[in-house]
């Protein structure tokens, strides 16, 4: 990851000083003091609308009011609703500082949230989109790899700095009860996709548009995406997010989820190397 340096972006008429962090340009690359995810253009009007100044340690440029709620973001409708500090115990036993962001005006009514860990480099912070899986995330189900992937993501985001976007679209978008129905069908030799179709639902109904809304609310336009799923990248790019690079996640294979992972590779071109046995 490129080292980050503080840069002063500008002083508005109201004397609010805007300071942000920018990645140092690579050797021989074009030099710029303006973070690309801000479009290289911070207008004075941002300082004239009564927002509090941005602290350099906030990492992202959303402006907070005195109550801890955001003012309107410069593009898009979604806003940060609140930011709450929550210490997390990671799977390796370390305790991590985190900030959990709630939002308003996302494109659907789900209570999606973001978790900021470490010190993200704002030029293209590491971002993981994780869709809710109660059985895997909470109960430790071995039928899928969601739990280990979530744990791995939190550790990597803590170490590198970044954001986990936790998306409330259980069961690839069909809901928890229907996911259990699909499990029953999978026990009768359907795979995870044909089971959904047998229930009259799509192979994968997840929509990552709300993740783009959340990134816009956080004023993040450019990311490094932690994922093996090409559909996430495609949907984010369609929604106007610049995905600088795709960083693969670990592979977590067990006798219980091998069939599930094989179906993911076959149906959705997930970039998972199933020749490597992972620890689950
Ligand atoms: Zn799962």
- pLDDT tens digits for 209-251? 999 999 999 999 999 999 988 889 999 999 999 999 999 988 7
pLDDT of res. 42: 32
Token pair belonging to 91: 């799977």
Compute the mean pLDDT over every residue in the chain, rounded to the nearest whole number.
76
pLDDT above 50: residue 38: no
pLDDT of res. 275: 64
pLDDT of res. 45: 32
The DSSP line for 129-193 is: EEE--IIIIIS--SSSSHHHHHHHHHHHHHHH-EEEEEE--HHHHT-HHHHHHHHHHHTTT--HH
Quick: pLDDT tens for 1-15: 444 443 333 333 333
Strand partners, 167: 131
Task: For the beta carbon of residue 19, count every other beta carbon within 10 angstroms.
Answer: 16
Look up tokens 């500082």; give the residue: 97
Query: Is 72-169+206-268 a CATH 3.40.50.880 domain?
Result: no
Task: Give the DSSP H or E segment for 117.
Answer: strand 113-117
CA 144 to ligand 1 center in whole angstroms: 5
DSSP 8-state code for residue 105: S
pLDDT above 60: residue 198: yes
Quick: pLDDT tens for 92-121: 999 999 999 999 999 999 999 999 999 999
Quick: pLDDT tens for 140-169: 999 999 999 999 999 999 999 999 999 999
Catalytic residue among 64, 178, 206, 222: 206
CA 78 to ligand 1 center in whole angstroms: 27
Token pair belonging to 177: 């009860």
**Whole-number Cα distances in Å, 266 to 20, 48, 194, 259, 274:** 43, 53, 12, 10, 11
Quick: pLDDT tens for 113-131: 999 999 999 899 999 999 9
Q: Model confidence at 62, in pLDDT bands (50, 70, 90)?
A: very low
CA 140 to ligand 1 center in whole angstroms: 9
CA 257 to ligand 1 center in whole angstroms: 10
* Structural domain spans, the chain: 72-169+206-268
Mean pLDDT confidence for 256-267: 71
pLDDT of res. 257: 73
Q: Are 18 and 47 in contact (CB under 8 A)?
A: yes
**Cα–Cα distance for residue pair 165/213, rounded to 1 Å:** 11
CA 65 to ligand 1 center in whole angstroms: 37
**Cα–Cα distance for residue pair 68/203, rounded to 1 Å:** 40
Catalytic residue among 64, 204, 222, 233: 204
**Cα–Cα distance for residue pair 19/10, rounded to 1 Å:** 7
138 or 57: which carries more pLDDT confidence? 138
**Cα–Cα distance for residue pair 126/158, rounded to 1 Å:** 10
Active site residue 168: no
**Whole-number Cα distances in Å, 81 to 45, 60, 68, 231, 278:** 22, 15, 8, 28, 38
Task: Give the DSSP H or E segment for 213.
Answer: helix 209-217
Q: Model confidence at 276, in pLDDT bands (50, 70, 90)?
A: low
Quick: pLDDT tens for 42-53: 333 333 333 333
Q: What percent of the chain has pLDDT over 90?
A: 54
Active site residue 231: no
CA 146 to ligand 1 center in whole angstroms: 4
**Cα–Cα distance for residue pair 96/117, rounded to 1 Å:** 7
**Cα–Cα distance for residue pair 103/78, rounded to 1 Å:** 7
Q: Are 233 and 128 in contact (CB under 8 A)?
A: no
Q: Model confidence at 204, in pLDDT bands (50, 70, 90)?
A: confident
**Cα–Cα distance for residue pair 54/50, rounded to 1 Å:** 12
pLDDT above 80: residue 196: yes
CA 141 to ligand 1 center in whole angstroms: 7
């Amino acid at each position: 990851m490129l080292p980050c340096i503080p840069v002063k972006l500008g002083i508005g008429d109201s004397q609010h000083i805007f300071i942000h962090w920018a990645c140092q340009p690579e050797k021989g690359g074009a030099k710029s003091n303006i973070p690309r995810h801000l479009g290289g253009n911070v207008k004075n009007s941002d300082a004239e609308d009564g927002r509090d100044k941005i602290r350099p340690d906030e990492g992202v440029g959303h402006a907070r009011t005195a109550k801890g709620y955001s003012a309107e973001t410069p593009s898009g409708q979604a806003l940060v609703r609140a930011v709450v500090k929550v210490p997390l115990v990671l799977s390796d036993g370390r305790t991590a500082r985190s900030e959990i962001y709630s939002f308003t005006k996302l494109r659907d009514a789900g209570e999606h949230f973001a978790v900021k860990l470490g010190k993200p480099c704002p030029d293209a912070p590491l971002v993981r989109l994780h869709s809710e899986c109660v059985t895997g995330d909470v109960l430790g189900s071995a039928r899928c790899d969601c739990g280990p992937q979530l744990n791995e993501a939190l550790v990597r985001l803590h170490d590198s700095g970044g954001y986990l976007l936790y998306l409330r679209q259980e069961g690839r978008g069909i809901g928890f009860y229907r996911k259990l129905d699909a499990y029953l069908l999978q026990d009768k030799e359907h795979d995870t996709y044909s089971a959904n179709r047998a229930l009259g639902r799509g192979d994968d109904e997840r929509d990552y548009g709300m993740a783009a809304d959340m990134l816009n609310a956080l004023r993040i336009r450019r990311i490094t995406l932690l994922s093996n799923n090409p559909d996430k990248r495609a949907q984010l790019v369609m929604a106007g997010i610049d995905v600088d690079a795709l960083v693969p996640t670990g592979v977590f294979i067990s006798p219980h989820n091998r069939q599930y992972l094989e179906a993911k590779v076959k149906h959705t071109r997930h970039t998972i190397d199933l020749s490597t046995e992972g620890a689950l």
